[in-house]
Chain A
Amino acid sequence: MSLATGVPLIETRGIFKSFGGIHALENVSVALAPGEVLGLLGHNGAGKSTLIKMLSGAYTADAGQILMNGQEVRLTSPRTAQNLGIETIYQNLALADNLDVAANIFLGRELLRGGVLDEDTMELESRKVLDRLKVNLPDLKKPVFNLSGGQRQCIAISRAIYFKAKVLIMDEPTAALGPQETAQVNELILSLRQEGVGIFLISHDLHDVFDLADRVTVMKNGKVVGSALTSQISQDEVLEMIIAGKLPRREVLTP
């Protein structure tokens, strides 16, 4: 599905956010359709992480709106965003190292039985979702501390999948990973897209973005430079947008 055919799954309108004197976001409007992968590009400090923290409820905007399926929503905390089906995979691999795999997957949303943690069911459910992702971890009762970057990223992704993400936000999901693990995560992104999940993908790797994303949005100094379908724009043109903030001459930009 694309934006042309319907209401966006999630959309921001005119978001502003500043930290002290720094304008991290100025009048930012982006939109994402169901089953679409949107590449979010820009230099360090462009405001990508701040924008997605807004969408995941970690920050609140100074001004502007966020809409889901056309309805305005107020994302006042990470919990409200999660309840609306917005799941985020953070740049810095937000896992608690000292907790085991199952505890991390269910962190903040533990399954209870009679008011008490239902460890066994959480372990079984974790096993199921990890199997679905073809992730092989022999012992789910071990702290995640010893696991590789890829395995940890898979745990973060399983969390999103178990709780049936409608919008998945991935901030540099493969930055800390080796080539094989990157391929594994990329495969996962495509299969989620197939299931109709809308995905924001922040990445520095233009090749990956062009392989995975339907569309890219470029940001610079807290503002949106422009958006374009990856099928209609070249990597060089996108690079120009990122570096110089210059729009290509041809008519390729989408809203």
Chain B
Amino acid sequence: MQSVKSTAAPPRRLLASLGLDARLVFMVAAIAGIWIVFHVLTGGIFLTARNLWNLSVQTASVGVMVSGMVLIIVMRNIDLSIGSILGFTGMFMAVVNTQLFSQNTWWAALLTLLLGLLLGVLVGVIQGTWIAVLGVPSFIVTLGGLLIFRGGAWLLTSGQTVAPLSESFQILGGGLNGSIGGLWSWFVGAAIMVAILWADVRVYQQRARRGLPNRSVALQALLTGASLLLVLAFVLVMNSYADPRSGLPRGMPVPVLLMLGVTAIMMWVVRATRFGRYVFAYGGNPEAARLAGINTRRLTIMVFGLMGLLAALAGAIQSARLNAGTNSTGTLAELSVIAAAVIGGTSLSGGTGSIPGAFLGAILMASLINGMLLLDLPSAWQNVVQGLVLMLAVTLDVLVQQRRAK
């Protein structure tokens, strides 16, 4: 339902007949291409366990936020304030963690996080209410938010950097103590594999029993097998990067687990809940959604609240990783997130978008930045490339829309 609508060109038709989303296949291919090019350019550094581990941590912040941005854009809105909300809530959590809950205990870290998430939701709900109730375009409200919350991040400490944070809180950033180790990574990987297997088999059986169309058994087995292999490869890579102090495998970083968790939950929200269904209905035809009895104001407020929550989670991850609250954390993050969402097939004209696509978009953006860092390109070049990628992605979207309109 929320896949790309296409006027089926032959390769797309082939993929569609296999029950595959052309966009996702294309993106996986693009990411593979980028990885190989960087691997060659960096003289064999890119595709090492150590770099892939770093890449996964670097993806986490954008990856956590991008699914929220998909819902925002699907509803024909935009949120330009998320980089500033990230910075504001990150600074807030740093202050709370150093002044209010400075004990190095898991519950102090958790309370810090919860307060930060609450602040994020609150900020998002206020912006959403402004947009939904007063009817001010989201572009303007969140542009105001971009300035306000960046200013707020400075004002919280008059520009002072707050450091260090408690070790328990740093776990969220995936630093030295922020991975779950080899054994737990195997447990988590095994749990994910069992879940995939169980879900695929169950859906298949249920549809077969009720006489609904299905993929062929061989193709379904192939796809399920590929998913399982991907998880296996992920665990192997994460466990091949050893902690330099102890020599033990690091395993999955906590922020990456958070990103995977958020992505899985958001995929479920879109596919299985009324809320997700209504977001897409509104994006497809706001008037139809309203006439069908959907409370579209509340829907808009909820989506912006959710975006605020995810931006605050990214704020926790970034601050914990830096081991500091700074007033510039998250600057320009909104652009990477919007680019990732659009590359992943979210259309700015609303109604179309996919969470897995956006997740791949986040990996693609992070890969570009990671590769440029490895190549020692100055950050000015990183901005130029990110800007170009954003424009390219939107241009593709516009071309697709135009072709469809014909």
Interface residues of A (CB under 8 A from B): 56, 58, 77-79, 82, 88, 90, 92, 94-100, 103, 107-110, 112, 116-117, 120, 123-124, 139, 141, 143, 145
In the complex, how many angstroms separate the beta carbon of A21 from the nearest chain B beta carbon?
A: 22
**Residues of B in contact, count (CB < 8 Å):** 29
Tell me whether B2 and A98 are in contact (CB under 8 A): yes
Bound complex: CA of A124 vs CA of B207, how far in Å? 11
Tell me whether A99 and B292 are in contact (CB under 8 A): no
Contacts of B292 in A (CB 8 A): 78, 94, 107-109
Chain A binder among B53-61, B216-224, B270-278: B270-278
Tell me whether A96 and B284 are in contact (CB under 8 A): yes
Contacts of B274 in A (CB 8 A): 110, 112, 117
Residue on A with the closest CB to B209? Answer: A120
* CB-CB under 8 A for A58 and B291, given A100-B1, A120-B212: yes
**276-306 of chain B: CB within 8 A of chain A:** 277, 280-285, 287-294
Q: List 7 A-B contacts (CB under 8 A).
A: A90-B291, A96-B281, A96-B351, A107-B281, A108-B294, A120-B207, A141-B213
Majority DSSP secondary structure for residues of B touching A? helix
**201-250 of chain B: CB within 8 A of chain A:** 206-207, 210, 212-213
Tell me whether A103 and B294 are in contact (CB under 8 A): no
Interface residues of B (CB under 8 A from A): 1-2, 5, 206-207, 210, 212-213, 271-274, 277, 280-285, 287-294, 351-352
Majority DSSP secondary structure for residues of A touching B? loop
Bound complex: CA of A109 vs CA of B283, how far in Å? 18
* CB-CB under 8 A for A116 and B273, given A79-B293, A98-B352, A123-B212: yes
Contacts of B271 in A (CB 8 A): 117
* CB-CB under 8 A for A77 and B291, given A103-B277, A103-B281: no
Residue on A with the closest CB to B282? Answer: A96
Residue on B with the closest CB to A93? Answer: B288
Bound complex: CA of A79 vs CA of B298, how far in Å? 15
In the complex, how many angstroms separate the beta carbon of B366 from the nearest chain A beta carbon?
A: 28
Contacts of B352 in A (CB 8 A): 98
Residue on A with the closest CB to B206? Answer: A120
* CB-CB under 8 A for A107 and B290, given A97-B351, A123-B212: no
**CB-contact partner of A110 in B277, B290, B291, B351, under 8 A:** B277
Bound complex: CA of A40 vs CA of B374, how far in Å? 72
* CB-CB under 8 A for A96 and B285, given A56-B291, A79-B293, A103-B1: yes
Residue on B with the closest CB to A57? Answer: B293
Contacts of A90 in B (CB 8 A): 291
* CB-CB under 8 A for A107 and B1, given A116-B273, A117-B277: no
Tell me whether A94 and B287 are in contact (CB under 8 A): yes
Of the candidates B1, B272, B290, B291, the one having the most CB atoms from chain A within 10 angstroms of its own CB is: B291
Bound complex: CA of A112 vs CA of B277, how far in Å? 12
In the complex, how many angstroms separate the beta carbon of A59 from the nearest chain B beta carbon?
A: 11
Tell me whether A98 and B280 are in contact (CB under 8 A): yes
Bound complex: CA of A107 vs CA of B294, how far in Å? 9
Tell me whether B210 and A124 are in contact (CB under 8 A): yes
Known: A94-B287, A116-B273. 13 other contacts (CB 8 A): A82-B293, A96-B280, A98-B280, A98-B283, A99-B280, A108-B292, A110-B274, A112-B274, A116-B272, A120-B206, A123-B212, A141-B1, A143-B1
**CB-contact partner of A107 in B2, B206, B213, B289, under 8 A:** B289
Bound complex: CA of A117 vs CA of B277, how far in Å? 9
Bound complex: CA of A115 vs CA of B299, how far in Å? 18
**CB-contact partner of A117 in B210, B272, B289, B294, under 8 A:** B272
Contacts of B289 in A (CB 8 A): 96, 107-108
Contacts of B280 in A (CB 8 A): 96, 98-99
Contacts of B2 in A (CB 8 A): 98
Bound complex: CA of A250 vs CA of B195, how far in Å? 77
Contacts of B293 in A (CB 8 A): 77-79, 82, 108-109
Contacts of B5 in A (CB 8 A): 98, 143, 145
Contacts of B1 in A (CB 8 A): 98-100, 103, 141, 143
Contacts of B294 in A (CB 8 A): 107-108
Sorted nearest first, the 3 A-B pairs with minimum C-beta distance are A108-B292, A96-B284, A79-B293
Bound complex: CA of A145 vs CA of B289, how far in Å? 16
Contacts of A107 in B (CB 8 A): 277, 281, 288-289, 292, 294
Residue on A with the closest CB to B287? Answer: A94
Bound complex: CA of A21 vs CA of B323, how far in Å? 62
* CB-CB under 8 A for A99 and B284, given A79-B293, A120-B207: yes
Bound complex: CA of A124 vs CA of B277, how far in Å? 18
Bound complex: CA of A112 vs CA of B276, how far in Å? 13
Bound complex: CA of A117 vs CA of B282, how far in Å? 17
Bound complex: CA of A100 vs CA of B273, how far in Å? 15
Contacts of A97 in B (CB 8 A): 284-285, 351
Tell me whether B210 and A96 are in contact (CB under 8 A): no
Residue on B with the closest CB to A102? Answer: B1
Of the candidates A77, A90, A94, A112, the one having the most CB atoms from chain B within 10 angstroms of its own CB is: A94
